[in-house]
Structure 1
């Protein structure tokens, strides 16, 4: 949910009234709802702190798009939830309302777009080739365009609705833009999650190992859950249940981050990425945001071919890449050695005294080749 106008005016006494809480805090008499506001805001911030600590302790090197997207998305939940807590509990009123607006805004950006970047930063693990590059390139620009057409206009309308110039016009525009940006970001996450689901199902069809299939099924399940969570939030927004939708959004996004952090970490191992790939950019400059070199060497303990192929049914060594040039030269040398062996054996059969063969070898090595051949005790 994006930041909303906070002008301190009285809102409807019923929290389920359409639009309740958009232009002010909760002024009703329900202590249960106030307890829920505190509980859900605290839960969202707790989950965000937990994810932040896990990320900082898990990564040996603090760099890479995956690391920073996880970190910023989790940290963004904290000011987002805190801003709504201050707003709904009417802690910031009057001129102090700008504090809630600023907190909501600076938390909303990394929470929404950061979540999309978490999914995008690991998308290269299941797509490859020219088609994979195209998918990564298009989804990257989808995220960039959504930031421009959804984040920026909504932010302008949010601050305009809290100002003193044409406030009603800004508030009307905000209520319309709010639903538009919700649909836009919903489609963005559905697109990314759907790519994971489709590509993972393709991998499941070729995987023979139970552990690999388990991880892939978990990946499909988690992305399906992400879509269902976004659908629930979109339904609440469509019903104009603003308070309920904003209470749940911080919690849902924190849960999604925890799920993605768990399963995408496993995915790195099962698709053959190196350990250092956790700390580096996901792809090279052709499709990535930051320059990163492709890792040429795969760490053996991170990539085990037996995770994908039943080696007991394969007669060749699949753990090392084939080298056609070397194998061809070996076959050629084998044929040459075999020919030389046959020639020496044929000569040996016609030599009665082995000393003659030794003597002939020493003579032939000191003179150019000739057409004389020895057969028994005679010469030809």
Structure 2
């Protein structure tokens, strides 16, 4: 038993260059299983996104959609690469697929976290936080994605392959640590703002429980990131690769849990608050931030349900039942994401 485990661990440390050439059936089964599970979760989440959002616009909608779509080429690219489905010049198709999927999946997840901050941060200070964190995501995407892509393609080429593999082992650890720190920063901002707002909520009897639930979800997300980073630091490339897509799909599923709790809270606090108090105006701003994050404008609708079907945002999003809305969906404007990113 221990010999088999050692074989799997040793085999998992290779795979940066070319496909998987080992003979471990267990590792091959894990690769296929987690790739299939990632694709399944992605398709399920895409259906859930279109069933949940009434308005197909806004940075939150588009970031969720793009991040989920990225899971599919990422999983397929690594399946093709590791099992050497595409050989010769066709191997570059595998690398292009996994690279495009990786960009959308990783930076898309960060944009989802950033867009969620609109639900909580308000005022001039909140505007600065959103602006600084937005530039952090943009800069990290450039300095972390591009060098990793260069050494990934170089490691699978025919010129100085060993040097590229050595560079990959260093740069990959650096970029994973960078993206981890980025998500920690975004999560900490979210937790601090959530605690601050919920502690002054008019729903005092439910605020404490909601704080614990939201923080627990964030902790689970960070623990999964730490697990991936640990595998990478141990140079277990295959294990880290096959788990990454699955973990990101779980993290995106948890976004629906968070969204459901925040929508319920904001709508409930709106119903309980006095009509003229400083705190009521703060809650109103947060509700308006929720509308904007979900793709709407306060002058166009009067309730959050115009954007999100709250009935589909329960605690178990994987069992949500799509319903056909009688209201026609607004067509997505290609300029919506760019306009929101400038705000």
Q: TM-score range by the shorter chain?
A: 0.7 to 0.9
Confirm or deny that 1:54 pairs with 2:54: no
Confirm or deny that 1:36 pairs with 2:30: yes
Aligned length: 278
Residue 159 (structure 1) shift: 1.8
Alignment of 1:1-12 (within 5 A): none
Superposed CA RMSD: 2.3
Could you list the per-position Cα deviations for residues 193-248 of structure 1 after superposition, in whole angstroms to 9, with x for gaps in the alignment? 11111222223322343344433332211111111110010000000111111111
TM-score, length-normalised on structure 2?
0.75
Over 3 Å counting, the alpha-carbon distance change for 1:298 and 1:212 in structure 2 is farther
Over 3 Å counting, the alpha-carbon distance change for 1:24 and 1:132 in structure 2 is same
Aligned to 1:262: 257
| Among 81, 89, 93, the residue aligned to 2:87 | 93
Aligned to 1:299: 302
Confirm or deny that 1:140 pairs with 2:130: no
| Among 211, 214, 223, the residue aligned to 1:219 | 214
How far apart are the structure 2 equivalents of 1:215 and 1:113? 28
Aligned to 1:280: 295
Residue 166 (structure 1) shift: 3.0
Confirm or deny that 1:121 pairs with 2:136: no
Over 3 Å counting, the alpha-carbon distance change for 1:300 and 1:36 in structure 2 is closer
- Residues 196, 220 of structure 1: 8 Å contact kept: no
| Higher RCO (C-alpha 8 Å, min separation 6) | 2
How far apart are the structure 1 equivalents of 2:83 and 2:76? 11
Structure with the higher helix share, 1 or 2: 2
Could you list the per-position Cα deviations for residues 67-125 of structure 1 after superposition, in whole angstroms to 9, with x for gaps in the alignment? 11000000101111111112222323332321211111110000000001111112021
Residue 297 (structure 1) shift: 8.6
Alignment of 1:150-165 (within 5 A): 150-165=144-159
| Among 237, 240, 249, the residue aligned to 1:245 | 240
Could you list the per-position Cα deviations for residues 137-161 of structure 1 after superposition, in whole angstroms to 9, with x for gaps in the alignment? 1100000000110011111222222
Residue aligned with 1:87, SS: helix
Task: Give ranges in structure 1 of 5+ residues lacking alignment.
Answer: 1-12, 282-293, 303-380
- Residues 115, 293 of structure 2: 8 Å contact kept: no
How far apart are the structure 1 equivalents of 2:304 and 2:176? 43
How far apart are the structure 1 equivalents of 2:64 and 2:53? 11
Aligned to 2:9: 16
- Residues 77, 108 of structure 1: 8 Å contact kept: yes
Residue aligned with 1:261, SS: helix
- Residues 25, 88 of structure 1: 8 Å contact kept: yes
How far apart are the structure 2 equivalents of 1:201 and 1:278? 20
Residue 14 (structure 1) shift: 3.7
Confirm or deny that 1:106 pairs with 2:106: no
Could you list the per-position Cα deviations for residues 4-56 of structure 1 after superposition, in whole angstroms to 9, with x for gaps in the alignment? xxxxxxxxx94422731111322222222211111111001100111111001
Task: Give ranges in structure 2 of 5+ residues lacking alignment.
Answer: 1-5, 267-283, 306-343
Residue 169 (structure 1) shift: 2.6
TM-score, length-normalised on structure 1?
0.68
